[in-house]
Structure 1
Amino acid sequence: MYTFKKEERLCNKKLIDKLFHNGSSFLCYPFKASWLPVQEPGESAPVQVVFSVSKRRYKRAVDRNLIKRRMREAYRLNKQECLYNVLNSGNIPIMLSIGFIGKEIVEYDFAEKKMLKLLTQLCIEIAK
């Protein structure tokens, strides 16, 4: 239940490009979410997600990795209740990108609270 497997990660460069050019997006500071419904179902996971942190703002790789690790952990623990239950009931697979746009490195508790808010807002956007 609280796993984050390979099939849940978005790795295909063409799909990522398509997501950023055709997807809908919204801000939930310190995150920016972009999402796009997948036309061809058949993926095992209801959501394929990619996490990103700007290299321009965070020059050191250790800082970027720390932020991504906190984002992935907050997503992993909250995806089932907040996101998967809504998507499985509607049978809507999506691609999702979560980018970090904050100015400073945030604590995990704050990141988790904002990730919960982002996932709830995403469910509202999908339901429209």
Structure 2
Amino acid sequence: MSLLVFRIIIFMTGIISIMLGYSYSHELYGTTEAEVEQWGYFVQVLGFIMICLIFNAKWEFFSKLLIYLNMLIQIPPIILWFIFHGSIITDWTYSPFIAHWAFSIPHILIFILCLVLLRHLNKSALIPSQ
């Protein structure tokens, strides 16, 4: 994988993480609990840090840890969107929002992109740097 493709995948993963985190932290899925909002903020920060990896990707261990963390935190939402498919997912007032498994697609995409990045990092001895 070339350096440009590697950076494009990191950028895509970061942008998707930021947008996905924004959707959770600003209640685009209806009224959410505080933990879900905090998860959204965390994913936004993680996405921003991943974008910063494009400019300075010298620390292989930190980069792998960050990508692995971003991959792992996508697993609970993927599972939960499938579990709660077809049901109302709010504990508060009535919400017309009904969960659907398709809302897990961005999480699955981030998971796959992180797997591609980790595979590339494990193949190469060092992260490509400028």
Larger Rg belongs to: 2
Q: TM-score, normalised by structure 1?
A: 0.30
